[in-house]
Amino acid sequence: MQKLQETAEKIRTMEIRGAGRIAKAAAESIRDYAAGLEVASMEEFNTCIRDASSFLISTRPTAVSLPNAVKLASRYSSGNVEEARKEIIENANLFIERADKALGIIGKIGSRRIQDGDVIMTHCNSHAALSIITTAFVSGKDISVIATESRPRCQGLLTIRHLNNFGIPTTLIVDSAVRYYMKEVDKVIVGADAIAANGALVNKIGTSQLALAAHEARKSFMVAAETFKFSPNTIVGNPIEIEERNTEEVVDPSLLADLSHVQVKNPAFDFTPAKYIDMIVTDIGIISPAMAYTVIKEQLGWELEDI
Protein backbone atom coordinates (compact mmCIF):
# COMPACT_ATOMS: atom_id res chain seq x y z
CA MET A 1 0.00 0.00 0.00
CA GLN A 2 2.92 2.34 0.66
CA LYS A 3 3.95 2.51 -3.03
CA LEU A 4 0.35 3.10 -4.05
CA GLN A 5 0.08 5.88 -1.48
CA GLU A 6 3.26 7.44 -2.87
CA THR A 7 1.86 7.39 -6.41
CA ALA A 8 -1.41 8.88 -5.16
CA GLU A 9 0.53 11.68 -3.48
CA LYS A 10 2.52 12.36 -6.66
CA ILE A 11 -0.75 12.64 -8.60
CA ARG A 12 -2.26 14.93 -5.97
CA THR A 13 0.77 17.25 -5.92
CA MET A 14 1.04 17.11 -9.74
CA GLU A 15 4.50 15.57 -9.79
CA ILE A 16 2.68 13.12 -12.04
CA ARG A 17 0.29 15.16 -14.17
CA GLY A 18 -1.49 15.29 -17.51
CA ALA A 19 -4.52 13.02 -17.93
CA GLY A 20 -2.68 10.33 -19.89
CA ARG A 21 0.27 10.02 -17.51
CA ILE A 22 -2.04 10.02 -14.49
CA ALA A 23 -3.97 7.13 -16.04
CA LYS A 24 -0.84 5.10 -16.75
CA ALA A 25 0.61 5.70 -13.29
CA ALA A 26 -2.67 4.63 -11.68
CA ALA A 27 -2.83 1.44 -13.76
CA GLU A 28 0.77 0.59 -12.86
CA SER A 29 0.06 1.31 -9.24
CA ILE A 30 -3.02 -0.93 -8.97
CA ARG A 31 -1.14 -3.68 -10.86
CA ASP A 32 1.83 -3.62 -8.49
CA TYR A 33 -0.46 -3.41 -5.47
CA ALA A 34 -2.44 -6.46 -6.61
CA ALA A 35 0.79 -8.33 -7.40
CA GLY A 36 2.12 -7.93 -3.86
CA LEU A 37 -1.17 -8.17 -1.96
CA GLU A 38 -1.13 -10.69 0.88
CA VAL A 39 -4.64 -11.69 1.94
CA ALA A 40 -6.29 -14.50 3.83
CA SER A 41 -9.48 -14.66 1.76
CA MET A 42 -11.15 -13.59 -1.48
CA GLU A 43 -13.36 -11.19 0.51
CA GLU A 44 -10.27 -9.47 1.85
CA PHE A 45 -8.81 -9.28 -1.67
CA ASN A 46 -12.03 -7.68 -2.98
CA THR A 47 -12.07 -5.12 -0.15
CA CYS A 48 -8.40 -4.21 -0.57
CA ILE A 49 -8.70 -3.72 -4.35
CA ARG A 50 -11.90 -1.69 -3.94
CA ASP A 51 -10.35 0.56 -1.27
CA ALA A 52 -7.10 1.04 -3.20
CA SER A 53 -9.08 1.92 -6.35
CA SER A 54 -11.22 4.51 -4.55
CA PHE A 55 -8.13 5.98 -2.93
CA LEU A 56 -6.37 6.45 -6.27
CA ILE A 57 -9.50 7.87 -7.91
CA SER A 58 -9.94 10.43 -5.14
CA THR A 59 -6.59 12.14 -5.86
CA ARG A 60 -7.78 14.38 -8.71
CA PRO A 61 -11.46 14.69 -9.53
CA THR A 62 -11.57 15.97 -13.12
CA ALA A 63 -9.41 13.78 -15.36
CA VAL A 64 -11.77 10.92 -16.23
CA SER A 65 -8.79 8.98 -17.51
CA LEU A 66 -8.04 8.20 -13.86
CA PRO A 67 -11.26 6.33 -12.94
CA ASN A 68 -11.35 4.80 -16.43
CA ALA A 69 -7.80 3.49 -16.04
CA VAL A 70 -8.40 2.17 -12.53
CA LYS A 71 -11.64 0.45 -13.55
CA LEU A 72 -10.19 -1.09 -16.71
CA ALA A 73 -6.97 -2.16 -14.99
CA SER A 74 -8.55 -3.61 -11.85
CA ARG A 75 -11.19 -5.74 -13.59
CA TYR A 76 -11.38 -9.40 -12.64
CA SER A 77 -14.05 -12.04 -12.75
CA SER A 78 -12.43 -14.95 -10.91
CA GLY A 79 -13.38 -15.82 -7.34
CA ASN A 80 -9.91 -17.17 -6.71
CA VAL A 81 -7.23 -14.81 -5.32
CA GLU A 82 -4.37 -16.02 -7.53
CA GLU A 83 -6.52 -15.96 -10.69
CA ALA A 84 -7.93 -12.53 -9.87
CA ARG A 85 -4.43 -11.21 -9.22
CA LYS A 86 -3.33 -12.54 -12.62
CA GLU A 87 -6.33 -10.90 -14.33
CA ILE A 88 -5.50 -7.52 -12.80
CA ILE A 89 -1.85 -7.75 -13.85
CA GLU A 90 -2.89 -8.65 -17.41
CA ASN A 91 -5.59 -5.99 -17.66
CA ALA A 92 -3.31 -3.28 -16.27
CA ASN A 93 -0.51 -4.23 -18.66
CA LEU A 94 -2.97 -4.22 -21.55
CA PHE A 95 -4.19 -0.75 -20.57
CA ILE A 96 -0.63 0.61 -20.33
CA GLU A 97 0.35 -0.90 -23.68
CA ARG A 98 -2.77 0.52 -25.36
CA ALA A 99 -2.18 3.95 -23.81
CA ASP A 100 1.38 4.04 -25.17
CA LYS A 101 0.25 2.95 -28.62
CA ALA A 102 -2.63 5.45 -28.59
CA LEU A 103 -0.26 8.41 -28.36
CA GLY A 104 1.61 7.23 -31.45
CA ILE A 105 -1.59 6.59 -33.40
CA ILE A 106 -3.03 10.02 -32.48
CA GLY A 107 0.23 11.63 -33.60
CA LYS A 108 0.14 9.83 -36.92
CA ILE A 109 -3.53 10.46 -37.69
CA GLY A 110 -3.59 14.04 -36.43
CA SER A 111 -0.39 15.06 -38.21
CA ARG A 112 -2.03 14.33 -41.58
CA ARG A 113 -4.27 17.34 -40.90
CA ILE A 114 -1.30 19.67 -40.47
CA GLN A 115 -0.21 21.61 -43.54
CA ASP A 116 3.23 22.84 -44.42
CA GLY A 117 3.58 26.37 -43.01
CA ASP A 118 0.90 25.96 -40.29
CA VAL A 119 1.10 28.04 -37.15
CA ILE A 120 -0.35 25.96 -34.31
CA MET A 121 -1.52 27.32 -30.98
CA THR A 122 -1.55 24.98 -27.99
CA HIS A 123 -2.46 25.34 -24.33
CA CYS A 124 -1.03 23.75 -21.17
CA ASN A 125 0.99 20.57 -21.68
CA SER A 126 -0.75 17.73 -23.47
CA HIS A 127 1.26 14.73 -24.61
CA ALA A 128 -1.48 13.81 -27.07
CA ALA A 129 -1.51 17.29 -28.64
CA LEU A 130 2.30 17.35 -28.67
CA SER A 131 2.37 13.96 -30.38
CA ILE A 132 0.46 15.47 -33.33
CA ILE A 133 2.70 18.53 -33.49
CA THR A 134 6.03 16.71 -33.21
CA THR A 135 4.96 13.95 -35.64
CA ALA A 136 4.05 16.61 -38.23
CA PHE A 137 7.40 18.32 -37.73
CA VAL A 138 9.43 15.11 -37.83
CA SER A 139 7.66 14.12 -41.06
CA GLY A 140 9.11 17.26 -42.65
CA LYS A 141 6.32 19.82 -42.27
CA ASP A 142 7.54 23.35 -41.74
CA ILE A 143 5.46 24.39 -38.74
CA SER A 144 5.72 26.71 -35.77
CA VAL A 145 3.91 26.84 -32.44
CA ILE A 146 2.45 29.49 -30.17
CA ALA A 147 2.29 28.07 -26.64
CA THR A 148 0.42 29.64 -23.74
CA GLU A 149 2.02 29.98 -20.36
CA SER A 150 -0.99 28.29 -18.65
CA ARG A 151 -1.09 30.02 -15.31
CA PRO A 152 -1.00 29.31 -12.45
CA ARG A 153 1.14 26.14 -12.73
CA CYS A 154 2.78 27.26 -15.99
CA GLN A 155 2.72 23.88 -17.73
CA GLY A 156 3.42 25.88 -20.91
CA LEU A 157 7.05 25.91 -19.80
CA LEU A 158 7.14 22.11 -20.12
CA THR A 159 5.58 22.42 -23.56
CA ILE A 160 8.13 24.92 -24.90
CA ARG A 161 11.00 22.77 -23.58
CA HIS A 162 9.57 19.70 -25.31
CA LEU A 163 9.09 21.59 -28.59
CA ASN A 164 12.54 23.14 -28.33
CA ASN A 165 14.09 19.67 -27.96
CA PHE A 166 12.62 18.83 -31.37
CA GLY A 167 13.90 22.10 -32.82
CA ILE A 168 10.37 23.39 -33.47
CA PRO A 169 10.20 27.23 -33.65
CA THR A 170 8.03 28.20 -30.69
CA THR A 171 6.66 31.42 -29.20
CA LEU A 172 5.60 31.58 -25.55
CA ILE A 173 2.73 33.95 -24.74
CA VAL A 174 0.77 34.84 -21.61
CA ASP A 175 -2.73 33.38 -21.47
CA SER A 176 -4.38 36.75 -21.97
CA ALA A 177 -2.60 37.18 -25.34
CA VAL A 178 -4.53 34.30 -26.93
CA ARG A 179 -7.05 36.43 -28.85
CA TYR A 180 -4.39 38.96 -29.85
CA TYR A 181 -2.36 36.23 -31.59
CA MET A 182 -5.24 34.20 -33.00
CA LYS A 183 -5.07 36.02 -36.35
CA GLU A 184 -1.61 34.48 -36.91
CA VAL A 185 -2.79 30.97 -36.09
CA ASP A 186 -3.96 28.28 -38.53
CA LYS A 187 -4.97 25.58 -36.06
CA VAL A 188 -5.46 25.21 -32.33
CA ILE A 189 -4.58 21.80 -30.89
CA VAL A 190 -5.26 20.96 -27.26
CA GLY A 191 -5.51 17.83 -25.13
CA ALA A 192 -8.36 16.61 -22.94
CA ASP A 193 -8.93 15.70 -19.33
CA ALA A 194 -12.41 14.51 -20.12
CA ILE A 195 -14.91 14.43 -22.97
CA ALA A 196 -18.58 14.24 -22.07
CA ALA A 197 -21.21 12.17 -23.88
CA ASN A 198 -22.48 15.37 -25.53
CA GLY A 199 -19.02 16.08 -26.99
CA ALA A 200 -18.09 18.87 -24.56
CA LEU A 201 -14.42 19.06 -23.69
CA VAL A 202 -12.95 19.50 -20.23
CA ASN A 203 -9.35 20.68 -20.32
CA LYS A 204 -6.97 23.10 -18.58
CA ILE A 205 -8.57 26.35 -17.45
CA GLY A 206 -8.48 28.80 -20.34
CA THR A 207 -9.05 26.20 -23.07
CA SER A 208 -12.55 27.55 -23.71
CA GLN A 209 -11.17 31.02 -24.45
CA LEU A 210 -8.84 29.54 -27.08
CA ALA A 211 -11.90 27.83 -28.58
CA LEU A 212 -13.97 31.03 -28.58
CA ALA A 213 -11.17 33.07 -30.10
CA ALA A 214 -10.57 30.37 -32.75
CA HIS A 215 -14.29 30.27 -33.55
CA GLU A 216 -14.44 34.05 -33.91
CA ALA A 217 -11.39 34.06 -36.21
CA ARG A 218 -12.64 30.97 -38.13
CA LYS A 219 -9.59 28.91 -37.22
CA SER A 220 -9.81 25.17 -36.75
CA PHE A 221 -9.99 23.80 -33.20
CA MET A 222 -8.68 20.26 -32.81
CA VAL A 223 -8.71 18.09 -29.65
CA ALA A 224 -6.29 15.21 -29.17
CA ALA A 225 -7.72 12.56 -26.85
CA GLU A 226 -7.26 8.87 -26.24
CA THR A 227 -10.57 6.98 -26.02
CA PHE A 228 -10.04 6.46 -22.28
CA LYS A 229 -10.57 10.21 -21.79
CA PHE A 230 -14.28 9.89 -22.64
CA SER A 231 -16.58 9.95 -19.63
CA PRO A 232 -19.10 7.10 -19.19
CA ASN A 233 -20.75 8.81 -16.21
CA THR A 234 -21.94 11.66 -18.39
CA ILE A 235 -24.21 9.27 -20.32
CA VAL A 236 -26.62 9.43 -17.39
CA GLY A 237 -26.16 13.17 -16.99
CA ASN A 238 -23.66 13.14 -14.13
CA PRO A 239 -21.63 16.33 -14.33
CA ILE A 240 -17.83 16.32 -14.54
CA GLU A 241 -16.43 17.89 -11.39
CA ILE A 242 -14.05 20.79 -11.92
CA GLU A 243 -11.08 20.59 -9.56
CA GLU A 244 -10.58 23.67 -7.36
CA ARG A 245 -6.92 23.78 -6.39
CA ASN A 246 -5.17 25.58 -3.56
CA THR A 247 -5.32 29.36 -4.05
CA GLU A 248 -1.67 29.66 -2.99
CA GLU A 249 -0.90 28.50 -6.54
CA VAL A 250 -2.37 31.82 -7.72
CA VAL A 251 -1.05 34.33 -5.22
CA ASP A 252 1.13 34.39 -2.12
CA PRO A 253 -1.29 34.58 0.85
CA SER A 254 0.89 37.23 2.53
CA LEU A 255 -0.12 39.66 -0.26
CA LEU A 256 -3.76 39.19 0.73
CA ALA A 257 -3.34 39.49 4.49
CA ASP A 258 -4.87 42.99 4.72
CA LEU A 259 -7.44 42.53 1.89
CA SER A 260 -10.47 41.51 3.88
CA HIS A 261 -12.92 41.89 0.94
CA VAL A 262 -10.96 39.71 -1.47
CA GLN A 263 -11.24 36.02 -2.18
CA VAL A 264 -9.17 34.01 -4.66
CA LYS A 265 -10.43 31.17 -6.86
CA ASN A 266 -8.38 28.55 -8.64
CA PRO A 267 -10.43 26.26 -10.89
CA ALA A 268 -8.01 23.97 -12.74
CA PHE A 269 -10.21 23.15 -15.76
CA ASP A 270 -13.05 24.53 -17.85
CA PHE A 271 -15.71 23.33 -20.31
CA THR A 272 -15.62 23.92 -24.04
CA PRO A 273 -18.99 23.21 -25.68
CA ALA A 274 -19.03 20.75 -28.61
CA LYS A 275 -20.08 23.46 -31.07
CA TYR A 276 -16.61 25.05 -30.86
CA ILE A 277 -14.79 21.79 -31.58
CA ASP A 278 -14.08 20.87 -35.20
CA MET A 279 -12.66 17.41 -34.60
CA ILE A 280 -11.39 15.05 -31.94
CA VAL A 281 -8.33 13.03 -32.92
CA THR A 282 -8.53 9.70 -31.09
CA ASP A 283 -6.73 6.38 -31.31
CA ILE A 284 -9.67 5.00 -33.33
CA GLY A 285 -9.64 7.84 -35.84
CA ILE A 286 -10.86 11.40 -36.22
CA ILE A 287 -14.38 11.91 -34.96
CA SER A 288 -16.79 14.79 -34.58
CA PRO A 289 -17.79 15.64 -30.99
CA ALA A 290 -21.26 14.29 -31.81
CA MET A 291 -19.76 10.79 -31.83
CA ALA A 292 -18.62 10.92 -28.20
CA TYR A 293 -21.57 8.80 -27.03
CA THR A 294 -20.70 6.07 -29.54
CA VAL A 295 -17.07 6.03 -28.37
CA ILE A 296 -18.16 5.56 -24.76
CA LYS A 297 -20.58 2.74 -25.65
CA GLU A 298 -18.38 0.92 -28.12
CA GLN A 299 -14.83 1.48 -26.93
CA LEU A 300 -15.10 1.63 -23.17
CA GLY A 301 -17.49 -1.30 -22.91
CA TRP A 302 -19.52 0.44 -20.23
CA GLU A 303 -23.11 -0.58 -19.61
CA LEU A 304 -25.60 1.73 -17.94
CA GLU A 305 -25.80 -0.56 -14.92
CA ASP A 306 -22.03 -0.14 -14.34
CA ILE A 307 -22.44 3.58 -13.72
Q: Does position 124 bind ligand RUB by CB under 6 A? A: yes
Length of the chain: 307
Rounded distance between C-alpha atoms, residue 4 and residue 270, angstroms = 29
Which of the ranges 25-33, 66-74, 186-194, 233-241 carries the binding residues for ligand RUB, by CB under 6 A?
186-194
Torsion of Cα atoms, 45 then 49 then 51 then 57, to 10°:
180
- The answer to whether 48 is a known catalytic residue is no
Q: Does position 203 bind ligand RUB by CB under 6 A? A: yes
Q: Does position 24 bind ligand RUB by CB under 6 A? A: no
Instruction: State the nearest-atom distance from the C-beta of 174 to ligand RUB, in Å.
Output: 17
Binding string, 137-156, against ligand RUB, x = CB under 6 A?
A: ------------------x-
Neighbour count for residue 31 (Cβ, 10 Å): 21
Rounded distance between C-alpha atoms, residue 118 and residue 90, angstroms = 42
* Helix (H) or strand (E) run with residue 297 in it: helix 292-299
List the catalytic residue out of 124, 175, 278, 283. 124
Q: Which amino acid is at 240?
A: I
Q: Does position 191 bind ligand RUB by CB under 6 A? A: yes
Q: Does position 18 bind ligand RUB by CB under 6 A? A: yes
Closest CA to 228 of 202, 198, 200, 193: 193
Residues 259-288, interacting with ligand RUB (CB under 6 A): 268
Which of the ranges 18-26, 66-74, 246-254, 288-296 carries the binding residues for ligand RUB, by CB under 6 A?
18-26
Q: Does position 19 bind ligand RUB by CB under 6 A? A: yes
- The answer to whether 124 is a known catalytic residue is yes
Residue number with CB closer to ligand RUB (19 or 295):
19
Q: Does position 17 bind ligand RUB by CB under 6 A? A: yes
Which stretches within 119-248 are classed as H helix? 127-138, 156-166, 178-181, 207-216
Rounded distance between C-alpha atoms, residue 163 and residue 169, angstroms = 8
Q: Does position 107 bind ligand RUB by CB under 6 A? A: no
Instruction: State the nearest-atom distance from the C-beta of 192 to ligand RUB, in Å.
Output: 6
Query: What single DSSP character describes residue 282?
Result: E
Rounded distance between C-alpha atoms, residue 212 and residue 214, angstroms = 5
User: What amino acid positions are annotated as catalytic residues?
Assistant: 124, 193
Binding footprint of ligand RUB on the chain (CB under 6 A): 17-20, 63, 124, 126-128, 155, 191-193, 203-204, 268
